[in-house]
Structure 1
Amino acid sequence: MTFANYMELCKMRIGVIIALTAIIGYMAVAETVEAVTLVALSLAMLLGSASSSVFNHLYERDLDARMTRTRGRPMVTASPADCRRVLAFALALLVAGVGLAGVALNWLVAAHLFLGAFVYAIVYTVWLKRRTWWNIVVGGAAGSFAVLAGAAAVDPGVWSLPLLMAVTLFLWTPSHFWALALLLRDDYRAAGVPMLPAVTSARRSAEAILINSVLLVASTLLPWMLGELGAVYGVISLLFGAWFLLGTVALLRAPEDRTLARRTFFGSMVYLMGVFLAVLLDKHLPMMWT
């Protein structure tokens, strides 16, 4: 195993997304921004995300060998000695991430980090992924802990807005990954992984994506309706939500269209970035004007 192999196992792009999600949680409740806190938060989340990603590679090496998209991953041909070293590496990353969060920030941040890693590595990867199409629905909770960790880094006693944002992240995950699974359903079927599009028709999958996306967009409006965020957030999130829902309706009309599935997959990322941008503008743009 080379250094490049270990970096690939860490899935740093996912780690960056998790760290940015935590930063959004931080910015959503912070009145002032402390650079040192943001650096510690980002590094801790990167370590925690890398830990669960490394474990995922290790545990799923047999599945990866059966899927065209993943059969070139490092763990597919790893030796037993490599597997032991990789497991130790994953545990070291988790200890480092939790320890950094607890010492540099607070232990509630550390708890959220640990729970996020646990849900992804154990609940999703080990318990659910091979057993039920509900895998990604329940596993979506893993990303929700990132925004809770970010908010807890500011004030462990602030819960209302972070919880609403966590619900949004929880509901975003199925729409995002079911769209991807529509593109890869033959691979998932070959590997015996019961992702929803692999166990039902494309139309049923598109229906599920649309229904879930309606719930998702509704959840993004709750912070505005409950007075946690203002009109800037409400208008921007509503516009992005309407745009995203139009895409899911188009997919429902042509569920076998791979271009539309790909567009929904990437559109979900644009939508989430739009909601995050709305949070930042609503919370911090007025401060810049005063």
Structure 2
Amino acid sequence: MRATAAMAVSLLKLRIGVAIAASALAGVALASGPGLSWWQLTGLSLAILGASGAAGAFNHYYDRDLDRLMLRTRNRPFASGAFGESPWWLVAFLGLLVISLGLAWLTVGHVAAAYVFLGAFTYGIVYTVWLKRKSTWNIVVGGLAGSFAVLAGAAAVDPAPQVVPTVLAVVLFLWTPPHFWSLAAAKGQDYARAGIPMLPVVVPASAWTKAILAHSVALAAISLVPLWYGQGLFYGIGAAAGGGWFVWTSLTLYREPSKANAMANFFASLIQLAFLVAGALLSSAIGSWS
């Protein structure tokens, strides 16, 4: 049972899915409008988990040849041979996506469902099929997947665009490249062996460390903008603490490019996202109680 559960978590990339779903809930929290019921929040969360899982599973299947070349990914279900190759897998992944989109449509509306689809399409097709093997812009454009989750959460409250959730979507767009560039810098031999043109693999350290630092500074600064639109103390603490730490580790990496500092920056990016999302959710909860 434990092995089966671990395989499911790996196949559907549920750890990433949980982060994306949490980002969508942050979009809900930052949007102005009537609060969602528990069943709408549940439907939105499950829809995003399902859609991101379908896109993640397709990524496993499509990239099984690359995954076999990388130490970090060679034990994934398709790369390891635990799951055999069959077009029926693609049918199953598409079915999961359709069910997830239907759930989103029924519980939070067609605009939110469209954003859920765009997030899955960006990761599954734009990033995995079109860009990952061919361009250093792969993860830059791929960063839109997380942004669409935030917009889906906001659209569940009000389909009309709003400033504060859009700002958070921009932050997520800026967050994804330095997060994955840091990982690629720490696992550079893996990516080079697989021929994936991640920025740290194809340009000098002076260039990719500067790109990471620029992204971290920009996202930390932009994450504070919602304070001018009435977001509370807890949001400000989360944005400032998480963003400040991420900028500091990015600066350390810029000054001393090393695998250890790259991994430290990778984990700092996770802390930044966690603090930002927690701050948004806590501020919303405190505001609803007051």
TM-score by shorter chain over 0.5? yes
Asked if residue 123 in structure 1 is aligned to residue 126 in structure 2, the reply is yes
Task: Call closer, same or farther: CA 1:218–1:105 in 2, change over 3 Å.
Answer: same
Any conservation in 2 of the 1:161–1:228 contact (CA below 8 Å)?
Answer: no
**1:121-179 CA distances to partner (integer Å, 9 max, x unpaired)?**
11101111111111111110011111111111112124222211100100010111111
- Mean Cα displacement is larger for which, 182-191 or 33-42? 33-42
Report the Cα distance in structure 1 between the residues aligned to 2:272 and 2:232, rounded to whole angstroms: 19
Q: How far apart are 1:269 and its partner, in Å?
A: 0.9
Partner of 2:287 in structure 1? 286
When the two chains are superposed, the root-mean-square deviation of aligned CA atoms in Å is 2.1
Any conservation in 1 of the 2:25–2:281 contact (CA below 8 Å)?
Answer: no
Report the Cα distance in structure 2 between the residues aligned to 1:247 and 1:271, rounded to whole angstroms: 11
Task: Give the letter aligned to residue 99 of structure 1.
Answer: G
Match of 2:44, SS state, is: helix
Any conservation in 1 of the 2:34–2:157 contact (CA below 8 Å)?
Answer: no
Any conservation in 1 of the 2:9–2:15 contact (CA below 8 Å)?
Answer: no
Task: Call closer, same or farther: CA 1:80–1:284 in 2, change over 3 Å.
Answer: closer
Q: How many residues align?
A: 286
Any conservation in 1 of the 2:209–2:250 contact (CA below 8 Å)?
Answer: yes
Q: How far apart are 1:89 and its partner, in Å?
A: 1.3
Which of 245, 248, 258 in structure 1 is aligned with 2:247?
A: 245
Any conservation in 2 of the 1:229–1:282 contact (CA below 8 Å)?
Answer: yes
Which of 189, 193, 206 in structure 2 is aligned with 1:190?
A: 193
Asked if residue 273 in structure 1 is aligned to residue 274 in structure 2, the reply is yes
Asked if residue 207 in structure 1 is aligned to residue 210 in structure 2, the reply is yes
Match of 2:90, SS state, is: helix
- Percent of residue pairs bearing the same amino acid type: 45
Match runs of 1:35-54 below 5 Å: 35-54=38-57
Match of 2:247, SS state, is: helix
Partner of 1:264 in structure 2? 265
Report the Cα distance in structure 1 between the residues aligned to 2:113 and 2:90, rounded to whole angstroms: 21
Asked if residue 8 in structure 1 is aligned to residue 10 in structure 2, the reply is yes
Report the Cα distance in structure 1 between the residues aligned to 2:109 and 2:237, rounded to whole angstroms: 34
Which of 2, 17, 21 in structure 2 is aligned with 1:19?
A: 21
Structure 2 gap ranges (5+): none
Partner of 1:170 in structure 2? 173
Q: How far apart are 1:245 and its partner, in Å?
A: 1.1
Task: Call closer, same or farther: CA 1:210–1:80 in 2, change over 3 Å.
Answer: closer
Partner of 2:142 in structure 1? 139
Any conservation in 2 of the 1:237–1:275 contact (CA below 8 Å)?
Answer: yes
Which of 177, 183, 187 in structure 2 is aligned with 1:180?
A: 183
Give TM-score scaled by structure 2 length. 0.91
- Mean Cα displacement is larger for which, 139-148 or 240-249? 240-249
Match of 1:234, SS state, is: helix
- Mean Cα displacement is larger for which, 6-15 or 74-83? 74-83
Partner of 1:110 in structure 2? 113
Give TM-score scaled by structure 1 length. 0.91
